[in-house]
Every structure is written in structure tokens, then in C-alpha cells.
A and B are shown apart, each in its own frame.
Chain A
Amino acid sequence: MREITLADLDDIATGAAILGTGGGGDPHIGRLLAASAVREHGPVRLCALEELPAGAALVQVAMMGAPTVMVEKLPSVEQVSAAAGALAGYLGSGLTHIACAEAGGVNSLIPVVAAAQLGLPLVDADGMGRAFPEIQMVLPTLYGVRATPMAIADEKGNRAVLDTVDNRWAERLARSATIDMGCSAMISSYAMTGAQARESLVPGTLTLCAELGRLVRQARAAHADPVAAVVARLGGGTLFTGKVTDVERRTVTGFARGTATLAGLDGDAGGELVLRFQNEYLVAEVDGRVRATVPDLICTLDRETGEAVTTEALRYGQRVTVIAAPADPRWHTPEGLALAGPRYFGYDLDPVGAPR
């Protein structure tokens, strides 16, 4: 894929929901915004990570806040580019490229909006290779790239630039500003050079989203198994197929934590899977044994359609297949695990990798 056209957006949204591992927000609004921007400004050029010039100047753009708010107070195309523009203004240098912070959920499509409106190429890569809930949880953090200076913009025209001592402060201050802005804001952060991007981003993830979406669509049209197609592409394996028999949720400091219990179907009949989540699916236990944990990807897919089932949409009675796929290996280093391993999320567990 050398450019993103209107026709690609549905597939990207489907694939992004899968890589969202249950979080990341419903990509629907992102898809509509991207469609609006592409319709007005034309297709978005994609730049492969390895072709990115070392001297390129890029920033990430993303939506920050509550997905529930974003589906009510709709963001605008201009708001997305305003964040990138404010950051470029603070940096005092022109931008050559836009990049994605995460490959999952709505934030795979927000950068398409910015790239289309600003007329800049989009780098086919992202900072996570999946979705995570906090700003500092990106691989560039491991390479010493700072989240700030970062810009945050609301729909009213307010823009703020934060310059913080570390990435966790960036998360904290941006979170407060987001709440004041009505809990849905656009941010632009992680300004970096092409050289930094090439060493720290996960390559090919937008293409991967589009491919996953296409595989699901084609498998459905051919009455083949869309889940199997996703597993084959992502690597890893199927953990369990079952019916959701219980979902328990509780709110802990703004995050939707909870557990879901599934009773096995088909080959897993008689077995039980417990999913622990905090916005994203983080731990999967089969019959009391931990079979996969964050940072690897735990994706819950509708057994029939292959569509991702988010933690918010998880309901009693759904028939789903839970799959685990390997994350970028850098997440499994001690530094990566300190940033986004099971213990960071409060589970006293050693990480368990997806079947490889």
C-alpha cells in the first residue's frame, strides 16, 4: 500500500480494532473523520519506515481522553492538525511527516486525518504495535525520545504546549488538561527525526491494520473462518473459544478494570478462560493457568465475524475466540516490561508470551 484512499479506511478500522486488544476506542468516528479529510484533501501518501530520510522531522498525533466523550462531542479535522501545528510552531521547524502513536483503535486513523489536511506523508509505523492506555507507553521512550514538548488542542481553539521533565509528567499534565478540555482532546507529541523513528517505531503497522481488515472481510465473503485468517497473519495462536458467562467491572482511578469469564465451546468445551482487563485485555488464564499476558497482544474476536470485541462491549452470552499474538520483542526487555509489563498494571505475574 503506497497511499491510503477512501476505499482503504474500512479495512484499516477493522484491523485497528483487532490490534486495539479490547481498548483504543471504537475506530468508527476516526474512520468518518479520515474519510472527511481524504474526501476533501485527497489520498494520504504512506512512507515505509525504512525509506524515511534520516533528517525527516516527524510528530505523532493522537486522540487523548475518553472514547465515550469522543462519540458525543465529535472532534474536527482542523482540531487534529491544530495540535500538530502548535507543536511545529513551538519547535520552530517545519514538519516533513506524521506518525501514529498506537496501531490500535481510533488512534490508527487520527493521524490519517492530520496527514491528509496538512498534506504530509504518513509513516507506515507506530510507537507500540498495539494499543496501550498511557502516553509514555511507547517504544521511543526506551530510546530516550521524549514525549514533550507536546501540544494539546481542543475544539474551541485552545492550544497548550507542555514541556516536562519526563514522559510520566507529560502523561499527568496532559491528562489534567484533557479533563479541562472536556475529556476529548487531540495531542501531538514525540517529535523525532527520521533516524530516531527508524530505530524506535514498529514498522508496517498501518499496512498490517489494512491487511487484517481485508483478511477478515475476504474470509467472511468466502464463508471461511476469519479468526483463523487473523491468527495466521499475526502469528501466535488461538487460546480459547467460548461463550462469555460473566463480566465483572469496577472503576479504579478512571480506568475500567474487570474480569470476564468464558465457558468453552467446540474443542474447549468443559474448559474455562478468565480474561483480566484494564481498558485493554491484559491477562488470559485457561483453567487457572496463565496462558498469555501483556505486553503480548490478547485479542478477543467475535467467533463468527472476526470483528474485535472491546472490553466495553463485552457482554454475557457473546461467542468469542481469544487469540494471543506476539508484541514487538522490545516490549519483552526489562525496560519494556517496566513500562508496560503485567506488574506495571498491578498483576503480580511474570509475563507469559503468546504461543510462538
Chain B
Amino acid sequence: MRIGIDVGGTNTDAVLLDGRQVLAAVKTGTTADVTSGIVAAIAGLQEQRAFEPADVRAVMIGTTHFINALVEARRLAPTAALRLSLPAGASLPPMVDWPGRLIEAVSGRSYLVHGGHEFDGRHIAELDEAEVRRAAADMGAAGVRSVAITSVFSPVNAEFETRAAEIVAAELPDAAISLSSEIGRIGLLERENATIVNAALRELAAHIVDGLASSVSGAGITAPLYLSQNDGTLMDVDFARRYPVATFASGPTNSMRGAAVLSGLDICAVVDVGGTTSDVGVLRHGFPREATTDVTVAGIRTNFRMPDVLSIGIGGGSLVREARKVREAREVTVGPDSVGYELTSRALVFGGDTLTATDIAVAAGRAEIGDPSLVAHLDKELVAAALRRVADDVADVVERMRTSAEPLPVVAVGGGSILLPDELAGAGEVRRPDHYAVANAIGAAIAQIGGEVDRVYAVEPGRRDAVVDAAKQEAVDRAVAAGASPSTVQIVDFDEVPIPYLPGNATRIRAKAVGELQLTDAKGR
């Protein structure tokens, strides 16, 4: 058995799974300390379906806690960015394009020292160890508790980052150190930004991960704990402590992965209707299609791999307003503003005074929430017009996400998906699998272990196939090293882009392999 838990901004969802069969599913409120919400969720599972804690082989948690902390600029550690690049890069120092309030929130300091590599592995300059030591001493005097180290072309050669980390650790034994080569890809500013964000979240990550671990062990569960990453694969708690940024997009990813499992579809569009927004993504080979452009998080440009998600402001808490009458037909707007977590006090069905999308769904007989008699008076025409508006807007987003003329099945998940019709214009039937409201927790529970290679290779004539095979093999090896069962590992994503103006047929090759988590217990199962 496995337990999957999704800690969202509003709800904490949990599921108990045997293989892919859902044994129990609960929804509870997220608590400020995160951990008591998880304790309550596990207790809820136990109540629904009694289980022996010793039979749980793994617990997977997906959380939006870290991205929310960044967006809200709270609980960020005093952070320094150390860049190894001189004589290059001085005109655009670390955090050059950051919003001022976030630089303040991380008490951001930046240091540039000599070092870095060329594209072909030569040194731009030798690493100046004395400079690094001086910088570290200054950081210590300024009260810095977390350090982000970025070296030019470290995705090609990380030796300087590793050496600088040793020096900083010797000077500041208590500081957390994050290396850019382990976080991002080519594109110095974006990779450095992601590393600084990671560094700023390290203290919070240690605190939260410890809390998660203790709440799980408090329930008597001794199985290993994993956190889900942006790409839908898992990391262990030690990795999560060091790389909190890797959780940033796990929310939408888990919903989509859960939808794939619940519906049995490998290729589909997933519409996740929450309280405020509907997020639409596309699954290919069971994994979310990734965004191809740089992603801006809280005003900071980064190059994380994020799922390609298009959101519109339609959710269960969306405000419904009558705009105007055009001839006979009613014109109604739904969203983009929402009552959010106040749904249970402000919606009509809960005795409130605000007409929300949830009230419309209840009035239309699509759901039984709150007190249906409180919406019995609603004009049928108004209800129909609001549902039409939701269907049209969502159908338009699904259509925009489609990438081929092939039919693309649509799977609806999330608590608010009761708003969607059974058919969408241009897309056909909407599948609403069982347990749709906890798809994200299921997505966490079924997550796999991955390995990735993303590097620039010099491809000699006639050697392309050998280079490609080597890259794929390395991705597979990494997945196995991370804990995947070797017989289940396969390549799920492969991309090859020649780089213009570089000599030697330089080609950027990216390969991603995933496999099932190797679960071992005393019986070796």
C-alpha cells in the first residue's frame, strides 16, 4: 500500500492506494503548520479503511508550500549569491532583474569572483580561492545563512562550484549551500535565479520536511517518505531538504498524473477545476507536456521545467454576474474573481449572499453541496447561461492546448469539475473518473522515479547515434541510481536541438527516463 498526500493552499487531500486501486480518500483543511493537517488526513484514511501502518511501503507528498512562501515573500532566509564568472558578467550582477521587495525579503547580497568555464570546457579564469574565502567571511559577518553558488557553464563542468562550496562550507559551517549545476540548465541568470530562490527556501524546507517526516512517523508509518517534483517524479526527503524549488510546479503536475491513472489515458487534456481557476494541461506518454518558454515565478525569471498549463479564472468559488441582455439570450459572466476559501461562508448554498459557480452547479442539480433549497429560487435561464459560459470558456482553453487534429480526450478532475458539462464543443465527451476530487493526491501516490540528462554535446560526423544512445543510457542509469526498478525504466522524453554558431556540430541533447519506485520490504516485494 502507498499513501499519497497533496498539501494545497486550501485543502490537504490524502489517498490510500493498493497498486492503482483507491482504498480510501479524504479531504481536510490545510493547517498553518502543515503537519497537523497531514496527521488529520492520515487519521481520516485510517477511519475510512483501517490499515496496518507497517503495510504502508511508501508515502508520497506533493506540496505548494514552498512556491507559496516565495510568492508571499515570507520565511525566506538571508541569502547570498556567489557567482564564479569574472572577468565576465560584472555588468549584470546576481538579482539584477529581481523585484526589489524580494531582494529585501532574502536580504540579498551578491559577490562576483574569478572563475567559470567556456562552452568547450576551458577556464574563463582560474578559480580564485582567496576571493571566495574573503567573500565567505563577508557573508558570515553580514549574517548570511544560505549561499547560492553559480559558475559559468557549470552544466558542462561543475568543478568550480564544487570547490567553491568546500571553501564556503569551511568558512561558514552552518550555512546551507546550493549549487546551480544541480538546479538548472544553460542560461546563467535564469539558473542563478532558481538557485538563489532555492537557497532562500532551504531553512523553511528543513523545517517543513522534518515536520512532514515526524507527522508520518507519528502515525506509526516507518516507510520511506518522498516528495513530488515539478516533472511528476519523486525525490527523497534528503533531496527535498536541499532542493525545495524542485517542488514548485508539483501541484498541477500531480493533478494531471492522477488524471492519467484514474482515466487510464496516456494522451489527453486534463482540466483541473479548483476554487479560483481552471488549469488545463496536456499529457503525453502519461506525463505533462512541458512549457517551452522561460517561466516567471513571483516576478523572477527562471528556467525550471514547468508543465505547460493554461489557466482561466473559473472555479467553484467564481463570482457569477448577470452582465446584460443581448436580444433574448442572457449574458452572464463567471469569474475571474472568486470568493476563494470563503466559499463555505459566502456562497448562497452555505447561507451567504454571493452568487458563486458552486451555487449554479447545485441549482442545476449537478451537485449536492450545502443547502440546495437556498438556490431553488434561481432563474433557470440564468443557471443555464452561466453553465454555458463555463463550458464555452473551458472548451476554448482546451482547444488552444491541442497540438494536432487528432481527437484529444478530455479528463476533468478537481472539486470544481462539477461545473463542466458532459460534452465540450470541439473536444467531445468529458470523462470524470472516480475519485476526481483527489486526483492530485493520487498523482503524488503513483509518482515514479526519474533521471535526466541535459547537456551540450559535440557530435562528430557519423557519431550521432552513439551520442544519442549514450545520453539515453545515462538518463536510465540516473533513474536507477535514484531508486527506480531497472526493469521498468524507459525513456519518456527526448529532445535534440543543434546550437547555431558553435563549432563541432554542437547539439543540446535532453533525455528523461522514468521507472517505478523500487519498493522493498522484508519479504522483498
Contact = CB atoms under 8 A, between A and B. Distances in A.
A102 B88 CA distance: 24
Q: Which of B91, B97, B496, B501 has the most CB of A within 10 A?
A: B501
A306 to B, nearest CB: 14
B422 interface: no
A133 to B, nearest CB: 8
Nearest to B292: A315
Contact of B119 (A33, A66, A316): A66
Given A67-B500, A179-B503, A317 B403 contact: yes
B188 A71 contact: yes
Contact of B91 (A23, A33, A244, A258): A33
B276 interface: no
A96 interface: no
Interface string B313-336: 000000000000000000000000
A315 B496 CA distance: 12
Given A182-B119, A256-B499, A71 B87 contact: no
A38 B289 CA distance: 39
Nearest to A80: B91
Dominant secondary structure of chain B at its interface with chain A: loop
B89 interface: yes
B92 interface: yes
B481 interface: no
Contact of B122 (A74, A155, A182, A319): A182
B400 A319 contact: yes
Interface string B288-323: 010011000000000000000000000000000000
- Chain A interface size band reads 35 or more
A76 interface: yes
A68 B403 contact: no
Given A66-B119, A313-B292, A317-B403, A74 B92 contact: yes
Nearest to A317: B403
Contacts of B189: 29, 32, 71, 74
A12 B186 CA distance: 25
A245 B506 CA distance: 25
Nearest to B301: A28
A69 B502 contact: yes
Given A66-B501, A68-B502, A179-B503, A76 B89 contact: yes
Nearest to B459: A251
A336 B499 CA distance: 28
Interface in A222-257: 243-245, 249-251, 254-256
A254 B503 contact: yes
Given A182-B122, A316-B403, A317-B289, A67 B92 contact: no
Contacts of B124: 73, 155-156, 182
Contacts of A68: 119, 186, 456, 499-502, 508
A32 B93 CA distance: 11
Contacts of A37: 91
B500 A256 contact: yes
Interface in B78-114: 85, 87-92, 96-97
A33 B92 CA distance: 7
B226 interface: no
Nearest to B503: A179
Given A33-B91, A313-B293, A69 B119 contact: yes
Contacts of A133: 500-501
Given A72-B187, A77-B91, A319-B400, A254 B118 contact: no
Contacts of B500: 23, 66-68, 133, 254-256, 279, 312
B520 interface: no
Contact of A249 (B87, B88, B116, B496): B496
19 contacts: A23-B500, A32-B96, A37-B91, A66-B506, A73-B89, A74-B85, A74-B92, A133-B501, A156-B124, A182-B118, A183-B503, A250-B498, A251-B459, A254-B501, A279-B500, A312-B497, A312-B500, A316-B403, A317-B289
Sort A-B residue pairs by CB-CB distance and give the 7 closest, nearest first. Answer: A317-B403, A251-B498, A66-B501, A155-B88, A182-B118, A76-B91, A74-B89
Given A68-B456, A183-B118, A318-B292, 10 more contacts: A33-B91, A67-B501, A72-B119, A72-B152, A74-B89, A156-B124, A251-B507, A256-B499, A258-B498, A313-B293
